[in-house]
Structure 1
Amino acid sequence: MIKNILILVFSGVVLTSCNASKTQKNDSVSKLEGTWELNYITGPRIAFDGLYPNKKPTISFDLKENHVSGNSSCNNFTGKLIVTGNKIDFTQPMAMTKMMCVDGQQGEQTFISTLQKITSYDVTDDGKTLNFISGDIAMMRFAKK
């Protein structure tokens, strides 16, 4: 049986030894996994409920496949996920359906254009809130579904 033991030796003398164990990193990237629903977006002068009268946008992250997908309140989108630390990049072209959006067309345009400006993210310690940030300005906020 192999044990994980760390032994520090100096000039042939054992200074100390201890059991080694792996610890799980509490890493914000892993907190992205799953589906999130938009509950705040900056910029438009229209009230949030006016932008999204029937359906709020969602975004889902699959970290194993480096994949992002979601719904802009009308159309579905999917693409490659690029995350490094707390930096995130949505500038890669994403595939998107092209349904006609009678209600909420302005909301969809606002969501997609704001998403392309996002440079980083932050997930709260409790893992229930995701903030998308552009520079140092919080632009979008999502709740875990």
Structure 2
Amino acid sequence: MIKNVLTLVFLGVVLISCNASKTQKEDSVSKLEGTWELNYITGPRIAFEGLYPHGKPTINFDLKENRVSGSNSCNNYTGSLNVTGNKIDFTQPMAVTKRMCMDGQQGEQVYMSTLPKITSYDVTDNGKTLNFISGDIAMMRFTKK
């Protein structure tokens, strides 16, 4: 028995037969899986390295558990993942550790306050770059780790 084949038959005659494959949306969501490292964020007029002296923020997608987690450079965070096609929603509150980082506090605040503004995403460069978008404005860019 052959699986994932679509066959259109009319009056006993096969009109067309083709292999079924994942939709572009399914492929796009599956490309999120894994850990990504921030390399651009919109907004502050401080050098990127100055915002994140403790290391670049990361985000990890666990599609099986519908969870998102990561580091905002100083503290760790975790929360539920809500993705539909290329739409993504970070408006649910996330649990965040409370370590004190005096010299990285502004970057941490910028990162955590930008996430809820994100409305969609785009994975480009053969799955190596993740862009977070608000409306039609690119807000954050990550590289696959």
Report the TM-score, using the length of structure 1 for normalisation. 0.89
Q: Which has the larger radius of gyration?
A: 1
Provide the aligned C-alpha RMSD in A.
Answer: 1.7
Deviating above 3 A after TM superposition, structure 1's stretches of 4 or more consecutive aligned residues are 2-5, 17-22
Partner residue, 1:42? 42
Q: Could you tell me how far 1:25 is from its partner in structure 2?
A: 3.6
- Is the counterpart of residue 8 in structure 1 residue 6 in structure 2? no
> Which of 16-25 and 35-44 deviates more?
16-25
Going from structure 1 to structure 2, the CA distance change for 1:132 and 1:3 (only over 3 Å counts) comes to closer
Report the structure, 1 or 2, having the larger helix content: 2
Partners in 1 of 2:40 and 2:19 — Cα distance?
Answer: 41
Measure, in 2, the Cα distance between the counterparts of 1:89 and 1:58: 17
Deviation at 1:129, TM superposition (A): 0.3
Aligned residues: 141
Q: Which residue identity lines up with residue 104 of structure 2 in the other structure?
A: G
Identity of aligned residues (%): 71
Shift of 1:16: 1.6
3-state SS of paired residue (1:91)? coil
TM-score, normalising length from structure 2?
0.89
Confirm whether residue 83 of structure 1 aligns to residue 63 of structure 2.
no
Q: Judging changes above 3 Å, is the alpha-carbon distance between structure 1 residues 77 and 20 closer, same or farther for their aligned structure 2 residues?
A: same
Secondary structure in 1 matching 2:108: helix
Structure 2 gaps, min length 5: none
Q: Tell me how far 1:94 sits from its aligned partner.
A: 0.7
Q: Which residue of 2 aligns with 1:133?
A: 133
> For 2:132, what is the secondary structure of its paired residue?
strand
Gaps of 5+ in 1: none
